[in-house]
Structure 1
Amino acid sequence: MPSLFRRKRLVIVLIGFIVLVALIGFSIRDRDSLSTPEKFLQDAVGWMQTVFHKPVSLVDGTIENIHDMFDVYEQNKVLKARLSEYKGVIQENQRLTKENNELRDTLDKTEGLSDYSPTQATVIARSSDRWFEQMTINKGEEHGIEKDMAVMTSEGLIGKIKSVGAFHSTVQLLSGFDRSNKISAWVVREDENEDEVFGLIEGYDDETGQLLLEGIKLDEELKEGDTVISSGLGGVFPSNLRIGTVEDVVNDQFGLTKTAYIEPFADLFDINHVMVVDRSVETIDTENEPEEDGS
């Protein structure tokens, strides 16, 4: 009995093997069409591949997009850094160009001050609480600077030396002048046939940002645009230093004289390079002329 079962199993295995070989031979032969089971199997495998391919492709695409985003982020950081450097270079170039132009203008003006001994200086500090009143320059007694010397830029007068150290000095700006600071001045009228008009710079109007030229005679007619220059009559400031132009003229509070509002030639708030003017020529006798108080 056991031998019968063994024979049956052997026959079954042989039949199965023959069927398998037949199927393999049938499947590998060249054919133009597939059988129904083959079609079913092919479609089943294709659907399974599709099901697994889509999430794999999605994950792979997402990872690639994230990688690209990091690349773009890093490139953006590099570009921003280079852009900042480029802006810094542009700003530095503009600043240097401005300083170069200021120095050229200052040197040109220095060559024209043949009667004076100008000393070039650079502004090194301005107090935040006294920005409109005074500043510090990098020249002092060791460079020949003395108290009350005139200070100007290439555009015009900006103030005077208030105090002097060995290597630095403090400049009192025109915008910080009050009645204790006076500068004798001439008003050069546009009509060349008219005489110059004398007055004293005796203060600064904070509201208009203009200098006050006082002591003008009532019968003098000034016009907007007339030029104001230093007269040199005080014995301290040289003559012919450009101060500003007449913007408006009013009678004083007592109606005895006129006061002119003067727009300064120089920018009193944006100053980098200056000239300290030493009066090296003798001045006329001012015994009977109006005097300046320390200017």
Structure 2
Amino acid sequence: MPSFFRRKILISILVAFIVIVTLIGFSMRDREEVTVPEQFILDTAGWVQTIFNTPIQWVNDSIETFQDVFRVYEQNEVLKGRLAEYEGLIVENQELEKENEELRGTIGKSEGLSEYSPVQATVIARSSERWFEQVTVNRGAEHGVEKDMAVITKDGLIGKVQSTAAFHSTVKLLSGFDISNKISSWVVREEGDNVFGLIEGYDEESGRLVLGGINLEAQLNEGDQVISSGLGGVFPSRLQIGSVDEVRNDEYGLTKTALIEPAANLYEINHVIIARRSEQTVDTGRAGDEES
């Protein structure tokens, strides 16, 4: 019980002190001078108030500072959200502009296929395991699409129709071509005659198309453009395929082989054109191993 009595005594002293200070305050209202005992009591009261008020003021200041920090944090989060939304709109706008540009390109390209009835299509599926081999588009037999029809983008040839369903088709990309899939081509020379060759595969190591069957005496230069010849009637003529990147003799030294940088992006494909053969187009058939 001693602690209880001590606490009670302290409280009594504090109450008495407050009462004395209050009485002194009332007694000083009409007097200009203060006695020494009154000065002592007033100073003591000031010190006591300072001792009690200092931590209280510190707590109040700390609370206000915390509230300010919290308000700044909330404002920062709101600004971050608006910034993310703004950045999202920028990206969306860029994607729309890119898509519009691609669509304008495919429309312009389709207008140039006078001998064929172009069918515009959109890529709807692409397997991650066969990313460089094939894509699926949203046009099929009901739209006049048939097997082996050429498929292009605004930049050039990307492949051919491998199979069709009623409303969808699978496109075999040039990067998935092998020796059994050949395209007769011309290397366009700035000087001299064009040089004939066959796109007969894809070199995975270099990411280039392989143009074989080139006359050993033919002179090719880096940067020469390669286009489809149109021989065989399967692929339209003058479709951009790519440009010569490297020329070398074949392993037997009988012909030359060139590595061709594809004109079209075979990695990112969204909108394509299928060169559908019209009734006026004469299919002259496939000549031997060309365009098989």
TM-score, scaled to structure 2 = 0.86
150 and 286 in structure 1: CA distance in 2 versus 1, 3 angstrom threshold: closer
3-state SS in 1 of match to 2:206: coil
**Contact 2:115/2:281 (8 A) holds in 1:** no
Pick from 225, 243, 250 the counterpart of residue 223 of structure 2: 225
Shift in Å at residue 286 of structure 1? 7.0
Residue 249 of structure 1: aligned partner: 247
Gaps of 5+ in 1: 1-22
SS in 2 for 1:97: helix
Q: Structure 1 residues 156, 256: CA separation in 2 closer, same or farther (over 3 Å shift)?
A: same
Partner of 2:28 in structure 1?
Answer: 27
Deviation at 1:25, TM superposition (A): 9.1
Whether the 8 Å contact between 1:232 and 1:283 is mirrored in structure 2 is no
Deviations 1:132-180 (A, max 9, x none): 1100111111111110000000000000000101111101000000001
Match for residue 279 of structure 1 among 277, 280, 285: 277
How many residue pairs are counted as aligned between the two chains? 268
Q: Percent identity?
A: 60
State the 1:246 CA deviation.
0.7
Contact 1:180 1:293 in 2 (8 A): no
In 2, Cα distance between the equivalents of 1:122 and 1:26?
Answer: 97
**CA root-mean-square deviation:** 1.9
Aligned to 1:174: 174
Q: Which residue number corresponds to residue 122 of structure 2?
A: 122
Instruction: Letter of the 2:141 partner, please give it.
Output: E
1:31-65 CA-to-partner distances (Å, cap 9, x unmatched) read: 2x422122112111111111111011011112222
Contact 1:106 1:275 in 2 (8 A): yes
Mapped partners of 2:285, 2:139: distance in 1: 30
1:121 deviation in Å? 0.5
Match of 2:11 in 1: none
1:267 aligns with 2:265: yes
**For the residues of structure 2 that align with 1:162 and 1:115, how far apart are their CA atoms?**
21
**CA-CA distance at 1:254 after TM superposition:** 0.5
SS of corresponding position for 1:190: coil
- Distance in 2, matches of 1:74 and 1:209, equals 51
Among residues 201, 204, 207, which one is paired with 1:206 in the alignment?
Answer: 204
User: Max radius of gyration: which structure?
Assistant: 1
The verdict on how the C-alpha distance between 1:25 and 1:42 changes in structure 2, with shifts beyond 3 A counting, is: closer
Verify the 8 A CA contact 1:188 1:226 in the aligned structure 2.
Answer: yes
Aligned to 1:149: 149
Q: 2: CA distance between counterparts of 1:148 and 1:276?
A: 10
- Output the CA distance in 1 between the equivalents of 2:111 and 2:291: 29
Distance 1:24 1:189 in 2: 111
Gaps of 5+ in 2: 1-23
Name the stretch that deviates more: 172-181 or 37-46: 37-46
Aligned to 1:67: 67
Distance 1:109 1:25 in 2: 101
Q: Does the C-alpha gap of structure 1 residues 195 and 286 become closer, same or farther in structure 2, counting only changes over 3 Å? A: farther
Deviations for 1:253-287, whole angstroms, at most 9, x for unmatched residues?
Answer: 01111001111110100111000012335458578
Distance 1:34 1:199, change over 3 A: same
TM-score by length of 1: 0.86
Q: Secondary structure at the match of 1:159?
A: strand
